[in-house]
Structure 1
Amino acid sequence: MSTEPNVELNGEELLALCCKTLDDAKAEDIVALDVRETSSITNYLVLASGLAEAHLRALRRDLDKALKNHKVKILGVDEGEFSGWAVVDAFDIMIHLFSQETRDTYKLESLWKDAVPVDVEKLLAR
């Protein structure tokens, strides 16, 4: 018996899946931004921090697994070895995983100041 879903996730369901997966894997400071009005390349951004490189790899692995289990195509993954930053591109959602130091350096939240914040707590409660 297959446990894989037969229906495609809509944008908000996919966003909730990503945030829940990261929360379950103990990601810190999860932020979701609706960039549909300001971006031509994605609908949502998810930003999260990990405690160390091993934690970042685990976050990415768990996210990859959850997306594949829901038949979500991953368009690309960009991560430099020990860079403190990994990006997972799932088309409608782009997930950025950072070490806290790297996140503090690049401050992506401030670059997307026109984005609409999404209530992550509500997504996690779904």
Structure 2
Amino acid sequence: MPTTKTKTKPKLATLALMAICCEALDDKKALDLKILDVRGVSTVTDYLIIASGNSQPHLKALRGSVERALKNAKAHIIGAESGEASGWQVVDAFDFMVHLFTPEMRENYRLEQLWKDATIIEPADLKPA
């Protein structure tokens, strides 16, 4: 019988690292930043941070900014896929994954639609009150 994750209170460290990533993306002018809480609907990760970049160089800059921010925060990056010409780049930080797309690839893969049962979190809600 398959098991499903139940939603529990998120780890503060995870939320803080996600806030750092969102700030890094915002600093590099990421477009259409979304955070999906996929706990309970995914067994791969707890959160998805999804953003777009205008071009391959913009995606590369966004990914580099996220990787530097996580390394500066002493966070462990499990993996990063650059797919230099694919229009889709990923940074896996275990509890969350950062997906960076060109607008065309984002429309093609439609992760937000794939994970339509996820709860949407506003980036501003990650910052401490």
TM class by smaller structure:
0.7 to 0.9
Structure 1 residues 53 and 124, CA gap change in structure 2 (3 angstroms):
farther
How far does residue 31 in structure 1 lie from its aligned partner after superposition? 0.3
Opposite residue 102 of structure 1, the aligned amino acid is M
Query: TM-score scaled to structure 2, two decimals?
Result: 0.86
- Name which of 81, 90, 113 aligns with 1:87: 90
What is the deviation of 1:114? 0.7
Measured against aligned partners, the alpha-carbon deviations of 1:34-85 in whole angstroms (never above 9, x if no partner) come to 1111111211100000010000000011111000000111101112121100
2: distance between equivalents of 1:56 and 1:106? 16
Check the 8 A contact 1:19/1:124 in 2, yes or no: no
Identity %: 51
User: Matched residues in 2 for 1:71 and 1:121: separation?
Assistant: 23
1:101 shift after superposition: 0.6
- TM-score computed with the length of structure 1 as normaliser: 0.88
- Whole-angstrom CA distance in 1 between matches of 2:53 and 2:126: 20
Whole-Å separation in 2 of the counterparts to 1:48 and 1:113: 16
| Residue ranges of structure 2 left out of the alignment (5+ in a row) | 1-11
> Among 13, 16, 20, which residue is 1:17 paired with?
20
The structure 2 residue matched to 1:59, chosen from 55, 58, 62, is 62
Question: What residue number does 1:45 align with?
Answer: 48
In structure 1, distance between residues paired with 2:27 and 2:127: 10
Cross-structure match for 1:6: none
1:121: Cα distance to partner? 2.9
Letter in 1 for 2:26: D
Contact kept? 2:33, 2:52, Cα under 8 Å: yes
How big is the alpha-carbon RMSD for the aligned residues of Structure 1 and Structure 2? 1.7
What secondary structure, in the 3-state scheme, does the structure 2 residue paired with 1:94 have?
A: strand
Aligned to 1:77: 80
* 1:6-59 deviation digits (Å, cap 9, x = unpaired): xxx612111111111101110000000111111112111000000100000000
CA–CA separation in structure 1 for the residues paired with 2:77 and 2:65:
13
Name the SS for the 2:45 alignment partner.
coil
